[in-house]
Structure 1
Amino acid sequence: MGAGHNHGPVPQRADRGMRRRLLVAFGLTAVIVVAQAVGSVVTGSLALLTDTAHAVGDASGLLVAVIAATMMLRPANSNRTWGFARIEVVAALGQAALLLVVGTYAAVEGIRRLFEPQEVPGTELLVFGIVGLVANIAAIAVLATSRGANFNMRAAFLEVFNDALGSLGVIIAAIVINTTGFQQADTIAALFIAALIVPRAFMLLRETVRVLMEFTPKGVDLDEVRIHILELDHVREVHDLHASMIGTGQPVITAHVVVDDRCFESGHAPQILETMQACLREHFPVSFDHATIQLETAELRGRESGAVQHA
C-alpha cells in the first residue's frame, strides 16, 4: 500500500512564458556576439575578445535553454513518466561546463597577454563595450522575473548577468586606456571577466550534478526523517528510504515502512499514511508532493531480506 500524487508537468502557460523570454534574450545576445566580434577585430582588444567568447557561450547556452524549455512542454506518458522535467537540469549542466571552458581559456590567454600587452584604441573599445552593456541590460530585464523558476532559467540569467559585468569591465578598461594610456587595463579586464565566469559556473555545475546523481535535497536530513517516522504509533521499522530531486521544485521521497499486522486487519493503514504525510509537511522545509510510502508487515519485510541475501 502506498501514497502518491500525480506526476504531471508544471503548468504549460508558465513554461511558454519562459520560452518567449529565452527567445528574446537569445536574440539580444546574438546581437552582442556580432557587435563584439567586429569590435575585437577592429580594436584587437583581449577584453573584448574574451567577452565575445563569453557572449558566444551565452548565446549557445540560451539556445540550449530555448530547446530545453520547448521540450519541457511535452507531456508525460507511460514511457516518460516525468516527461522532460529533468531536461532543464541537463541543459544547465551543459551551460555550466561551457562557461568553465570559456573562463579557463580567458584566464590562460589573459595571463599571457599581461606580459605581452597590445596597443588597443580606447575610444573604439568604449563604443563596443557600451553596445554590449546596453544589450545585456535589456536581456537581464527580460529574464529577471523568471530567473528563479528552474535551473534552466537560472543558468540563462547567470550567463547574461555575467556578460553584462564583462561589458562593464570592457568599458572601464577603455576609459583607463583613454585617460592614462595604461594598455594592460585591457588584459586586466579580461582576467576580471574570467574571474566572474569560473566560480559561478562551478557552483551551478555542482548543483546540477547533485540532482543528476540523485543526492538528498538540501534541507533534508534523512536520518531525521527516519526518526520522525519511527516515532509514529504502530511503526516498527523504516528501510529503503530515499529522497532526490527530479527537477526544480520537484523533490520526491520513497520509503518502505513496517507496521503492526493488526493495522491491516483493522483498516487503520490509510490513517498511518496520512499521519506520515502530515509529519513530512510539518517537520521538513522541502515540500514532498511526490511521496511514495509502502507499508509492510514484518513477514513481508523478512521475505525481502531473504531475497536480498540469496540474490
Structure 2
Amino acid sequence: MTGHDHAHDRHEGQGGHDGHGHGHGGPGGHSHGVDPNADRRWLAIALGLIGTFMAVEVTIGVMAHSLALISDAAHMLTDAVSIVLALIAMRLAARPARGGFTYGLKRAEILSAQANGLTLLLLAVWLAYEAVRRLLDPPPVAGGLVLVTALAGIVVNVAAAWCISRANRSSLAVEGAYQHILNDLFAFIGTAVAGLIVLTTGFVQADAIATLVVVVLMVRAGYGLVRESGRIFLEAAPAHMDPDAVGDRLVGHPPVTEVHDLHIWTITSGQAALSAHVLVEPEGDCHAVRRDLERLLAKEYGVTHTTLQVDHVQEELLSVGRAGDPPADPHCADAHGPVHREGPHAH
C-alpha cells in the first residue's frame, strides 16, 4: 500500500515541516478509525436471521426439488459469509497502525469485498449450469412449497437488509454484504413468481428460469464488487477523481509553477490519499503554498490525507525544457506520470 515516492516525505500526521517547506497532513487532521455508525450488533442480527432461514430453505428446497430455492439458499450462504467477513474486517480495520503495517489493516475490508464478489461470480457459474440442465430436463417441482418458502424469504431478507442499512455502508465490506442481501431479496421475489407459475400452470421450467434471473443479479453485483476492490488494490485514483484535472487545478494556484509525481489512491473505503512534488517560484513561500493546497484539496476534493513535497523551482527550469519533458530537478530524476506546468499542460 504505497504511493509515496520521495525521500523527503515524512510520516503524514506528524505536523512537522522541514527547511524545504515539505508538509504533511490535511488541515483538519485524519480520522482513520471505524465509523461509529458501523454497528456490529446490526450485522450480527442480520447474520442470525439469514443463517436460521438458510438452514430451513435448504431442507425445503431438497424436498420440493426446487433449484430456485436451493440457489437462493446458496446465495444466502454467501450473504452469511459476507457478513462474517465484514465483521472480521471491521475489527481488523479498527486496530492501530504498527510495525510494517503503516496503514494498519484497513484494507482487510477491501479483501472482504473482493472475496464476496468472487464467491458471487463462481456461484453464478454453477447455478447457470444447473439451470440450463433443468431447462432441458426439468424435474417435478412442488410449486406450493416454493411459493410459501419464497414469500417467507422475502420477509427475512427485508428484515436483514434493514439491519445492515443501519450499519456503515460507506465501508465497501458492509456495502458488499448489503448488495448480497439486496440481490437475494430480488431473487426471492423471482422465486415466488416461479412458484406461483408452477402451482397454477404446471410449467416447471419457471423454476430454472427464476434461477437464471438470480444468476444475472449475482453476476452484476459480483462484478461491481470485484471491479471496485480491484481498483483499490491496483492503486487507481478514486473513480470520481481525474488526476489530470487535479494536477491542473494545483498548478493553477500561484505561485505554483509545476506539479509532478502526482499520485492519488485509496487506502480503504472513503479514504483517498494524495502525494505530489510541487515546485513554486523562487520568491514563493513554500509553507504557505502547502497549507493553501491542502485546504484546496480538502475543500474541493475531500482529500485530507496528503503528502506534499514543496520546493523552489530551479532557475534553469524556468527557461529550459518543453511541456511534457521530465523535470530536471535532481529530486525527481525519474518522474512518474504527466508533468503539470503553468500555461500549456502536458498530459
The normalised TM-score by structure 2 is: 0.81
The match for 1:276 is 293
- RMSD, matched Cα: 2.0
CA contact (8 A) 1:93 1:204 kept: yes
The match for 2:191 is 170
Q: What is the letter of the counterpart of residue 230 of structure 2?
A: V
The answer to whether structure 1 residue 98 and structure 2 residue 113 are counterparts is: no
The match for 2:45 is 24
CA contact (8 A) 1:228 1:279 kept: no
Which one of 10, 14, 34 corresponds to residue 33 of structure 2?
A: 10
Out of 49-58 and 223-232, give the one that drifted further.
Answer: 223-232
CA contact (8 A) 1:35 1:131 kept: no
Which one of 45, 48, 63 corresponds to residue 84 of structure 2?
A: 63
Distance in 2 (alpha carbons) for counterparts of 1:245 and 1:75: 18
Of all paired residues, the percent bearing the same amino acid is 30
Distance in 2 (alpha carbons) for counterparts of 1:227 and 1:126: 59
Question: Which ranges of structure 1 fall in alignment gaps of 5 or more residues?
Answer: none
Distance in 2 (alpha carbons) for counterparts of 1:90 and 1:160: 19
Distance in 1 (alpha carbons) for counterparts of 2:91 and 2:141: 42
Structure 1 position 8, deviation (Å): 4.8
CA contact (8 A) 2:85 2:173 kept: no
Distance in 1 (alpha carbons) for counterparts of 2:79 and 2:216: 16
The match for 1:128 is 149
What secondary structure is seen at the aligned counterpart in 2 of 1:218?
Answer: coil
Aligned length: 300
Question: Which ranges of structure 2 fall in alignment gaps of 5 or more residues?
Answer: 1-21, 315-326, 336-347
Distance in 2 (alpha carbons) for counterparts of 1:12 and 1:257: 33
The match for 2:306 is 291
Q: What is the letter of the counterpart of residue 254 of structure 2?
A: D
Write the deviation string for residues 267-294 of structure 1: whole angstroms up to 9, x where unpaired: x222111221233345x4x301111111
Q: What is the letter of the counterpart of residue 272 of structure 2?
A: P
What secondary structure is seen at the aligned counterpart in 2 of 1:294?
Answer: strand
What secondary structure is seen at the aligned counterpart in 2 of 1:291?
Answer: strand
Distance in 2 (alpha carbons) for counterparts of 1:161 and 1:226: 39
Q: What is the letter of the counterpart of residue 101 of structure 2?
A: R
Structure 1 position 174, deviation (Å): 1.2
Structure 1 position 99, deviation (Å): 0.5
Structure 1 position 90, deviation (Å): 1.1
For residues 140-159 of structure 1, the aligned pairs below 5 Å read 140-146=161-167, 148-159=169-180
The match for 1:256 is 277
The match for 1:33 is 54
The normalised TM-score by structure 1 is: 0.89
Distance in 2 (alpha carbons) for counterparts of 1:103 and 1:147: 27
**Aligned pair in 2 of structure 1 residues 110, 71: CA closer, same or farther (>3 Å)?**
same
The match for 1:221 is 242
